[in-house]
Amino acid sequence: MILMQGKGVSKGVANGPIYFFQRPDTTISDAPAADIEAEKQRIAAAQKKSVDQLNTLADKAREDAGDETAILFETHAMFVEDEDYVECMMNALEEKHCTAEKAVEIAGEEFAAMLAAMDDPYMQGRAADIKDVTRRILNNLMGITEGGIDSEAPVILAADDLAPSETLQLDKSKILGFITQGGSGNGHTAILARTMGIPAICGLGEALKAEYTGRKVYIDGETGQAAIEPDDITLASFQTKQEEQQKMKELMETMKGQEDVTLDGREMMVYCNIGSPEDVAAVQSNDGQGIGLFRSEFLYLAADDYPSEEEQFKAYKDVAAAMNGKRVVIRTLDIGADKQVDYFEMHKEENPALGVRAIRICLNRPEVFRTQLRALYRASAYGKIAIMFPMITSVWEVKECKRACQKVMAELEAEGIPFRKDTELGIMIETPASVLVAEELAREVDFFSVGTNDLTQYTLACDRQANDLGKFFDPHHPAVLRALKLAADAAHKAGIWIGICGELGADLTLLETFLAIGIDELSVSPASVLPLRAAIRKSIAKTCTLEMLKS
């Protein structure tokens, strides 16, 4: 048996073979090719493989998801062999004497740009399909496995560390758990694991070795313990915990359909955090009453290029429609810091958490912001969408955001496109500055949602990504709790609601404190909804003053 100790960052016990994440080399060389005929044959072979894959996916989709999804894959299979697209590749080969990879890349870029420039929105939407098809042919040329996991059976995925963009591109159906050498519980990879309900341990350090690939491991995402080929006693303790987990799950089933109300009748809205439209299924199966944070940037992180207005519209509309009139708070693009997107070509920063991130990027790049706001307002016609702006520090930023919204609404009105004029606008309270000017901010918006991950980082001057800050990164610090209280009082004075969408919202040891502070909504990972409901139903809502919030 090999025992390893790390930090549990997503609860649950899992077991399976270790699979070490292979970081694919996606660089495409500009060097000339030695034999153009050989490159042509490589393209033909990659095309055939792509068509075969797409036909298999179409058959599977027809069985699992119906005709609409199947047709999408069939259309992609047709694109692979589209005459003009293929001619574009062949021209690049002949004229530039480049490699097959370069020729496919050039054809993909040219073709997508041509489609995106067309007047017809349907044809513009096809640009994304061509990018997708190009990525598939390139992967087949370079021997990159789609979804990153070259294994038929599900695995415990091991890595040195995983960037959020890498995690998003993995095939989730093949992941039983995550174990990483580095990482922190407050970074976005851990947050993603919790959102997906997949057990995870980070910070295993050198103890986790690539040579363990293929060996069977048990992991406990609560205690942070991992055991390779455990002895009988250790195995029994993992199995007991797995059984308890199952029993708890069954007990929690009884919470479905119950109200989120304390013993003394105080209501708390219990919403969910999601990262993609696929997560809505988990919100529904856990009986979440709404979505309090849809991290829209995950759409950008999972893509190889800017998601178009159509792509975003579809994603937001699908979520709004599936939630059937329940509130869906969609946060506008929040990249930067640990969420890096190559195609944004951001300058390298010494302190990215204090740099051009989140709302600062949107205000600096009005076209990117406009595309997202158009998609959001168009989707607002299909459900109860609320728009939320991240990392606010000043009132002028909010005013600028609202002006951008007004402009988009005027455009849609002129184009005769339906949208909801009364779409709620809110901001995230994530900086000490926003707490200190909360009264002025509250007069500008319909709600506040506290991002305690960043609020803790900025209030305590502790990098949320560092895994060696230990007790210094303390979200229970009175400064953080008093910041919550100041923001809650400001919100209520202006007659608006306030929620928490940071990870602290699921901390049951603070539930009575949140109730006393006056928090109206808690947005948590779908798996945390029912335990939170059970705790609310046993609580009493008291009140508190600032001074009472001590460590």
Enzyme catalytic residues: 188, 501
Work out whether 454 is an interface residue with Mg ion (CB under 5 A). yes
Q: Is 279 in the site for Mg ion (CB under 5 A)?
A: no
Is residue 29 classed as helix, strand or coil in its secondary structure? coil
Judged on CB neighbours under 10 Å (0-12, 13-18, 19+), 233 is exposed
- Nearest residue (CB) to Mg ion, 230 versus 451: 451
Torsion angle (degrees, nearest 10) of CA 396, 401, 404, 409: -130
From the list 225-233, 319-327, 449-457, 489-497, the region that binds ligand PEP by CB under 6 A is 449-457
The verdict on 451 binding Mg ion (CB under 5 A) reads yes
Is residue 187 close enough to count as binding Mg ion by CB under 5 A? Answer: no
Angle at 156 between CA 153 and CA 158, to 5 degrees: 125
* 3-class DSSP state of 235: helix
The CA-based dihedral angle spanning residues 442, 446, 452, 456, taken in that order and rounded to the nearest 10 degrees: -20
In whole angstroms, how close is the CB of 337 to ligand PEP at the nearest point?
8
- Four-point Cα dihedral 103, 109, 110, 112, nearest 10: 130
Site for ligand PEP in 317-336 (CB under 6 A): 334
Candidates 88-96, 111-119, 349-357, 452-460; binding stretch for Mg ion (CB under 5 A): 452-460
> Nearest distance from residue 37's CB to ligand PEP, in Å?
50
Q: What part of residues 334-353 is at the interface with ligand PEP (CB under 6 A)?
A: 334
**Do the Cβ atoms of 523 and 293 come closer than 8 Å?**
yes
Report the first-to-last Cα separation within the chain, whole angstroms: 41
Closest approach, Cβ 359 to ligand PEP, in A, equals: 12
Report if residue 453 touches ligand PEP, rule: CB under 6 A. Answer: yes
Which segment (46-54, 65-73, 226-234, 445-453) binds ligand PEP by CB under 6 A?
A: 445-453
- Which of Mg ion, ligand PEP, none has residue 502 at its interface (CB below 5 to 8 Å by kind)? ligand PEP
Number of residues that bind Mg ion (CB under 5 A): 3
Q: How far is CA 240 from the centre of its chain?
A: 32
Q: Are 200 and 221 in contact (CB under 8 A)?
A: yes
Using CB under 6 A as the binding rule, the residues of this chain from 287 to 316 that contact ligand PEP are 293, 295
Q: What is the 3-state secondary structure (H, E, C) of 249-274?
A: HHHHHCCCCCCCECCCCCECEEEEEE
* 521 near Mg ion, rule: CB under 5 A: no
Beta carbons of 229 and 216 less than 8 angstroms apart:
yes
In the chain, count H helices and then E strands: 20, 16
Q: Which of 108, 451, 475, 499 binds ligand PEP (CB under 6 A)?
A: 451
Q: Does 74 bind Mg ion (CB under 5 A)?
A: no
Which listed range, 46-54, 151-159, 174-182, 425-433, lies at the site for Mg ion (CB under 5 A)? 425-433
Question: Which residues in this chain contact ligand PEP in the complex, by CB under 6 A?
Answer: 191, 293, 295, 334, 430, 451-454, 501-502
Question: Which residues in this chain contact Mg ion in the complex, by CB under 5 A?
Answer: 430, 451, 454
